[in-house]
Amino acid sequence: MSAPLLEIEDLVVHFPTADGPVHAVDGLSMTVERGQTLGVVGESGSGKSVTFLAAMRLLDRAQPTISGRIALAGVDLLGLSHAEMRRVRGARIGMIFQDPLSALHPLLRVGDQIAETLRAHGKVGRRDAAAQAVAALRRVGIPNAEERARQYPHELSGGMRQRVMIAMALVLEPELLIADEPTTALDTTVEAQILDIIDDLRVRQGIGVVLVSHSLATVADVADTVVVMYAGRAVERGPCDAVFAHPLHPYTWGLLDSIPALDAERARLVPIPGAPPSQVDPPPGCRFAPRCAYRIDACTARLPELTERGGGHADACVLAVPGRTALRHRPGAGRTEAAA
């Protein structure tokens, strides 16, 4: 078996600031397989976007300290020269962003923006590139593609703009698509369409997809594997079904409890109390411990590693698995027992 499509190993990204280094990503590992979707979930500041901007080497201007390994099909991207990395971007890894209006150049026609990607990576004639751009727009289900290609971003709807972004990211048929919160700025109905398009293209072009989201609900339908991130680290990783059916980590419980459900099983949404910890000076031990209802003394003593719990399902928690799952949905009881 060849190397996985994308392999992130022990990634650390620190940004220098006046107050000291910000630990944006702090020892993160994950893998994306060909033809599969990896869902990466976490709240703002959990390091999910930074991780993939680091993979694209788009952080260079902020001059972060990066260590670890980010390998695309076995080749470490962090070791490539600028010229080599430029040929990877767009051609082998496509990326789409949260707000398609600000991510598209406001003064250029969308067709030209797609054609430009083609022309930057190979000897393609102007006319040929324009025709391929129209074809790419058609592939993401944009009607009247010829006409749309001549329009400017502000003339399109939010969903159309994100389709344009997808068309642009995939026009060179890359092996990997990184979608960084692709539906956060869109209506819920459009969200489903966009996720369908991405999933459809994944199947047709056999690409690997990273779907970054702050919401577990977004990745639930399309992800094969899910990684839950908290404060720059992975706290849980596993097959999508397993993570939803038997979530292991208290933070994942919190995320699931804060998803609105249409059935009346739960009367209220349960928010996670508190706020994410300082990333300049992270708390000792488990990063989630200060907000965790099941905290015991051992939690703040050492940083728990991601540990395999069977079936490819892993989590990073000090508590033993059987005892922990019994505690779920009884946070009050949990605290008493933990204190006892």
Where along the sequence are the contacts to other proteins (CB under 8 A)? 56, 58, 82, 86-91, 94-95, 97, 99, 102-108, 116-117, 120-121, 152, 154-155, 165, 168-169
Pairing mode, if any, of strands 93-96 and 314-315? unpaired
Q: Taking the mean position of all CA atoms in its chain, how far away is CA 320? A: 28
Angle at 330 between CA 328 and CA 336, to 5 degrees: 115
Q: How far is the CB of 313 from other proteins (least distance, A)?
A: 32
* Structure tokens belonging to residue 28: 């993160």
CA distance 306 to 173: 34
Q: How far is the CB of 2 from other proteins (least distance, A)?
A: 24
* Structure tokens belonging to residue 36: 């599969």
Which secondary-structure segment (H or E) carries 308?
Answer: strand 307-308
Q: How far is the CB of 13 from other proteins (least distance, A)?
A: 16
Rank residues 89 and 139 by Cβ distance to other proteins and give the closer one. Answer: 89
Q: How far is the CB of 62 from other proteins (least distance, A)?
A: 11
CA distance 96 to 61: 19
Rank residues 170 and 243 by Cβ distance to other proteins and give the closer one. Answer: 170
The residue assigned the tokens 């369409």 is: 193
CA distance 100 to 187: 13
Rank residues 106 and 271 by Cβ distance to other proteins and give the closer one. Answer: 106
Q: How far is the CB of 205 from other proteins (least distance, A)?
A: 17
Rank residues 95 and 216 by Cβ distance to other proteins and give the closer one. Answer: 95
Rank residues 166 and 235 by Cβ distance to other proteins and give the closer one. Answer: 166
